[in-house]
Amino acid sequence: MLGAGTVGGGVYEILMGKTPSKVETGSDHNIRRVIISKICVQSLDKTRDFAIHTDQTTLTTDWKELLTDDIDCVIEVAGGCGVAKDCLLAALRRGKKVVTANKAVLFEYRAEIEAACAASSNTTAARIGYEAAVCGGIPIINALTTAWAGDAIGSIQGICNGTTNFMLSHMQDDDASVSYDSVLKQAQALGYAEQDPTADVDGHDVRAKMAILAQLAYGTSPTVSQIPCTGIRNVTAVDFAICRSSLQGSTIKLIGTVQTANTTPNATAVPLSMADAASAAKTLCVTVTPTVVPASHPLAAVTGCGNAVAIQSAHLPGITMAGPGAGRYPTAQSICADVHRAGSGTLPPVAFPRPRAYQATQWTIVSDYTARFYIRHTLETPAATSSTEAALAIWSQALPVERVLYDQDGTLAIVTTPSLYSLVESTSRTVAGNTLIMPILQET
Ligand SMILES: NC(=O)c1ccc[n+]([C@@H]2O[C@H](COP(=O)([O-])OP(=O)(O)OC[C@H]3O[C@@H](n4cnc5c(N)ncnc54)[C@H](OP(=O)(O)O)[C@@H]3O)[C@@H](O)[C@H]2O)c1
């Protein structure tokens, strides 16, 4: 195992606990014990918060020691794209099974991982399991590759980052008094947010996860530049108050979306039918953005550090999987399930299985989509009403404004009828002041 921190400690306790884990190997009904024989860490002197059985496990700081012939499977729980990536790829190239929780490596080194798995011989077939990499304890990876087999997925909407969901939940609950900065400090004090929170609050973590889900659901993976990504820094308590009072109790969530693109104004995003899926060229749109979620939508009820993924497909019009998106034991359990699959030979032979419905589809990735939008516009200096009137005139000229939600103290909030994101975004650049643009999810 590479890494013995929050997740690694949980994996060790589960697999090497009082009753050590056993795995059915599938050959002659053999049962084999799982033994974590080596752990590579940065510091040998560090006090660990779990007991290491020194008669069975040795500690090292040299990750190359994990590549010896007596080791069948490497569990990578160090994180990052440095040593973790080197070790993961080297293990696969040696024909080992690899289990990882590392979405960053999966996102940035997908091609290398695929090639390493494809190049391994049948006898020492490299396999990779990465259930823990998206939504920690929610078994979304295994579900996507098995439960939707043969179906055509139309959209995936997910709350895939516990830190930002914790922060937004607090902003939602604590009236209009709590600011983004104070809730970030609170999340950092509780250990939910890193000292450098960029990856979480700017949506980069969700972006990598949505790219992995896009790969599994559609067989294509957009690059960083193909995923419009807006984080939560600009969301204010006022936005929560407006959504609650003027949009029937709606709330705000950071939502990652993967959907077959619909850039026709006034059209609703519907899942593809199987017949649609069979046709050749399709457009796909992957986005990360703060989003207005109606109270009736299943994602509205996901609070605190919870994660959830809502999937629409041709045959299953609304499935939502919710649960712990992080944490020692939920994440470790996802790792351990993959270790058992590795032992019993049931990890898929290809790293990123392509869904049957879209085997032949040539995807075009687009960054534009249609939605109703919440637009909150704050003037630089809270000025006379005439200033918000001027801003409203600009918005109304460019877009079909459905309703003005709020117009007070230099803050204007409007809702559009279904419009193109590109038009909303380009208009916002012509109006002076601070603008928050959020798509509104459809009621379910
Ligand atoms: N925490 C969660 O709830 C969660 C949920 C889902 C996915 N994940 C993913 O799981 C992975 C691990 O997360 P974590 O929270 O367990 O991290 P963590 O607590 O920071 O632990 C990281 C471990 O990796 C070791 N390590 C780091 N760099 C190393 C290097 N260069 N050589 C050898 N060992 C090294 C550290 O060694 P020392 O202990 O000696 O410093 C530490 O034991 C990450 O990819 C993360 O994104 C975490």
For the stretch 274-301, pLDDT in tens is 555 555 458 899 999 999 999 999 999 9
Please name the residues in contact with 90: beta carbons below 8 A apart, sequence gap of 6 or more. 64, 67
Neighbours of 338 (CB within 10 A): 28
Closest CA to 169 of 304, 292, 326: 304
Tell whether ligand 1 has an atom less than 6 A from the beta carbon of residue 88. Answer: no
Ligand 1 near 65 CB (within 6 A): no
Q: Report whether pLDDT(6) > 50.
A: yes
Residue with the smallest CA separation from ligand 1 atom 31 is 83
Looking at the chain, the whole-number percentage of residues with pLDDT higher than 70 is: 91
Give residue 282's pLDDT.
Answer: 83
Residue 184 one-letter amino acid:
L
Amino acid at 253: K
User: Tell me, what's the pLDDT at 281?
Assistant: 59
Encoding tokens for residue 395? Answer: 């918005």
Say whether pLDDT at 121 is over 70: no
Question: Which tokens go with 236?
Answer: 């204010």
Distance, CA 44 to ligand 1 centroid (Å)? 15
Question: Euclidean distance between the first and final Cα of the chain, in Å?
Answer: 43
pLDDT confidence of 264, banded at 50, 70, 90?
very low
Tell me if residue 209 is catalytic.
yes
What is the spatial distance between Cα 252 and Cα 255, in angstroms, rounded to a whole number? Answer: 9
Q: How far apart are CA 86 and CA 202, in angstroms?
A: 27
* Number of the ligand 1 atom closest to the C-alpha atom of 105: 45
Query: Best of 1, 2, 6 to mutate for ligand 1, by most ligand atoms within 8 A of CB?
Result: 6
- Residue 384 Cα to ligand 1 midpoint, Å, equals 53
Token digits for 63?
């990750």
Pocket probe mutation, ligand 1, options 331, 333, 334, 335, max atoms within 8 Å of Cβ: 331
Residue with the smallest CA separation from ligand 1 atom 8 is 101
Taking the CA of residue 48 as reference, the ligand 1 atom at the shortest distance is 39
The 10 Å Cβ neighbour count of residue 443 is 11
In whole angstroms, give the CA distance from residue 34 to residue 162.
Answer: 31
Q: Is 42 in the pocket of ligand 1 (CB under 6 A)?
A: yes
Q: What is the mean pLDDT of residues 193-220?
A: 94
pLDDT of residue 277: 52
For a mutational test of ligand 1's pocket, the pick from 44, 77, 138, i.e. the residue with the most ligand atoms closer than 8 A to its C-beta, is: 77
Q: Tell me, what's the pLDDT at 42? A: 98
**To which residue do tokens 């299985």 refer?**
353
Distance of CA 60 from the midpoint of ligand 1 (Å)? 15
Q: Which two tokens stand for residue 379?
A: 């003037």
Indicate the range of 43-47, 57-61, 83-87, 268-272 predicted with least confidence: 268-272
Whether 132 is in the pocket of ligand 1, judged by its Cβ within 6 Å, is yes
Closest protein CA for atom 27 of ligand 1: 78
410 pocket-lining for ligand 1 (C-beta < 6 Å): no
CA distances from 305 to 57, 190, 347 (A): 33, 12, 29
Assess whether the C-beta atom of 99 lies below 6 angstroms from ligand 1. Answer: no
| Cβ 236 vs Cβ 180: under 8 Å | yes
Q: Is 7 in the pocket of ligand 1 (CB under 6 A)?
A: yes
pLDDT at 305: 92
Mean per-residue pLDDT for 293-316? 94
The answer to whether residue 142 scores a pLDDT higher than 50 is yes
Query: What local confidence, expressed as pLDDT, does residue 93 receive?
Result: 95
Q: How far apart are CA 328 and CA 318, in angstroms?
A: 29
Encode pLDDT of 73-101 as tens digits.
999 999 999 999 999 999 999 999 999 99
CA distance 101 to 107: 12
The 3-state DSSP class for residue 412 equals: strand
Q: Is 78 in the pocket of ligand 1 (CB under 6 A)?
A: yes
Ligand 1 atom 34, closest CA = 41
Separation of CA 4 and ligand 1 centre (Å): 7
Alpha-carbon Rg for the chain, nearest whole angstrom, is 24
Tokens found for residue 208: 């990598």
Pocket test for ligand 1, best of 1, 7, 307 (most atoms within 8 A of CB): 7
**Residue-wise pLDDT tens digits, 336-366:** 999 999 999 999 999 999 998 888 888 999 9
What does the alpha-carbon distance between residue 154 and residue 226 come to, in Å, rounded to a whole number? Answer: 19
Mean pLDDT of the chain: 90
pTM score, two decimals?
0.93
Residue 215 near residue 125 (C-beta atoms within 8 A): no
